[in-house]
Amino acid sequence: MHETKQRAMHKIDELADKLVRLSHDIHSHPEVSLTEHKSAGFIADLLRQEGFDVTVGVGGLDTAFVARKTGAAKGPHVAFLAEYDSLPGIGHACGHNVIATCAVGAFLGAAAVMSEFAGTVSVIGTPGEEADGGKIILMEAGVFDDVDFALMMHPSSGKSLVGRGGRAATSIDIAFTGKSAHSSAPGRGINALNAVLSTFQHIDMLRPTFAMQDNVNGIITNGGLAANIIPGEAACTFSLRAETLLDLEKLAAKVTQAANAAAALTGAAPEIHVHRMYAERYPNKPMGEAFKANMTQLGEEMEWANPTGMYGSSDIGNVSIKIPAIHEYLWIAPAGVNSHNLEYTEHSASPRADEIAIKGAKGLAMTAIDILASTQFQEQIKRSHLAQVPGEYRS
């Protein structure tokens, strides 16, 4: 093993107690998308204790931050990405406390050996992954403009996976405004709930036109106040997934078409809000192979993911279109334990999660060293990225 990797790992071991405490502090103070003030503060405090300047509030997001370390000369910029938002009502049921800790630990480990390399390492705090697309916001604000390679990990169940993709996704909120009336004279009103129900029916009528991986699920968020009142207001929200961002745009247009058709039929006025679109993911294979090899040295075996799996989505997909990126999975819970539930929340602060917080930090730091140590490897990564990402995204 390269001597600089040993030194980086030694630094992470020195900080292990602080890193585990960071994971537990974030876990015990869950904050939902874009409200992660305490969590960002815990991270910034640790980084400052270790002698780093931390810029909080980057990209127009109060809970985003950047800290960096520049090496011996100008060179590529490797960024470790941290997430730390929780889920409403169930806390860190997606293990973002572990993601944040791995990113911070990896940065501190790699920073300890940067005097040997040309380039820069940074840790970028990317809030709001679960609901608001924080990485997309930061990209639009230019935070990623000087980043050449992006590295992060994510907890999983049962298996540790490398090269796992993700589908494009978004959500659409639809609110209808009609006219309330007494239920004894429904013709005097405009039934907004009927418009919602009609939207669901129109979407179902359009399903035969969906692509194979298109997926629309919806719920009614406002169905009225009482059965004897014709609802003057009603609302629904839909979760959309598609194979690619281009497919997702077409799918969102169909849902919008369904809502407008319902409005025309019922007379209720629609208000339609399409949220930010998470792109499909392009996990960089050379970087994934390096991470897998490094984790093997740390005693963690990883498998290549099924390339056609029906996986979830993340705003790392948008990053992976712009620059080479990895988002690899390390298990913290047994097979059969699903994320986004309370059982997974418990596993996110378990001894296994603490172990992965340290091992994942080491694996990411080691992979960054692999990148910084070889211009040939850097070019291989870039060639792979160029070949993998469709040309439509570069036009």
- 274-316 pLDDT, tens digit each: 999 999 999 999 999 999 999 999 999 999 999 878 788 999 9
pLDDT band for position 258 (50/70/90)?
very high
| Residues 174, 191: Cα–Cα separation, whole Å | 15
Q: State the average pLDDT over residues 150-175.
A: 97
The burial class, CB within 10 Å (0-12 / 13-18 / 19+), for 49 is: exposed
* Longest Cα separation, the chain: 82
Indicate the angle between helix axes 96-111 and 37-49, nearest 10 degrees: 20
> Would you state the structure tokens that stand for residue 212, as one six-digit string?
């194979």
Q: Which two tokens stand for residue 349?
A: 């602060």
User: Model confidence over 110-157: pLDDT tens digits?
Assistant: 999 999 999 999 999 999 999 999 999 999 999 999 999 999 999 999
CA gap 254, 258 in Å, rounded: 6
Instruction: Work out the average pLDDT over 193-207.
Output: 98
Phi and psi (nearest 5°) for 80? -95, 130
> What span, in angstroms and rounded, lies between the C-alpha atoms of 83 and 128?
8
> Token pair for residue 335?
């097979």
- Cross-strand bridge partners of residue 283: 325
In the chain, the domains with their CATH numbers are 3-166+281-394 (3.40.630.10), 168-274 (3.30.70.360)
Other CB atoms within 10 Å distance of the CB of residue 190: 21
Give all strands of the β-sheet with 215-222 in edge-to-edge order: 215-222, 233-242, 168-177, 269-274
Per residue in 305-316, pLDDT (tens digit) is 998 787 889 999
Q: Which element (helix H / strand E) includes 97?
A: helix 96-111
- Distance from C-alpha of 2 to C-alpha of 270, rounded to nearest angstrom: 61
Examine the pLDDT at 385 and tell me if it is beyond 60.
yes
Kindly state the average pLDDT of the residues 56-60: 98
pLDDT-based confidence at 2, cuts 50/70/90? confident
Mean pLDDT of the chain: 97
Terminal Cα distance for the chain, rounded: 42
Query: Strand runs (DSSP E) across the chain, as ranges?
Result: 55-56, 65-70, 73-82, 118-125, 149-157, 161-162, 168-177, 181-182, 215-222, 229-230, 233-242, 269-274, 303-304, 325-333
% of the chain exceeding 70 in pLDDT: 99
> Span 50-59, mean pLDDT?
98
Q: What is the pLDDT of residue 1?
A: 53
How many other CB atoms are found less than 10 A from the CB of residue 53? 10
pLDDT interval class at 395 (50, 70, 90): low
Residue position matching structure tokens 């910084």: 372
Beta strands per DSSP E along 131-255: 149-157, 161-162, 168-177, 181-182, 215-222, 229-230, 233-242
Q: Given pLDDT bands bounded at 50, 70 and 90, which one contains residue 335?
A: very high
Contact, 231 vs 221, CB < 8 A?
A: no
Decide: helix, strand or coil at residue 171: strand
* Average pLDDT of the segment spanning 227-253: 97
- Yes or no: say if 83 and 131 are a contact pair by the CB < 8 Å rule: no
What whole-number distance in Å separates Cα of residue 166 and Cα of residue 160?
16
Helix (H) or strand (E) holding 291: helix 285-297
In this prediction, residue 213 carries a pLDDT of 92
Q: From CA 193, how far away is CA 153, in angstroms rounded?
A: 43
Rounded mean pLDDT of 222-247? 97
Predicted TM-score (pTM) of this structure: 0.95
Q: Identify whether the C-beta of residue 240 lies closer than 8 Å to the C-beta of residue 213.
A: no
Q: What is the b/e burial string over 198-231, where b = at least 16 CB atoms within 10 angstroms of the residue's CB?
A: bbbebbeebeeebeebbbbebeeebebeeeeebb
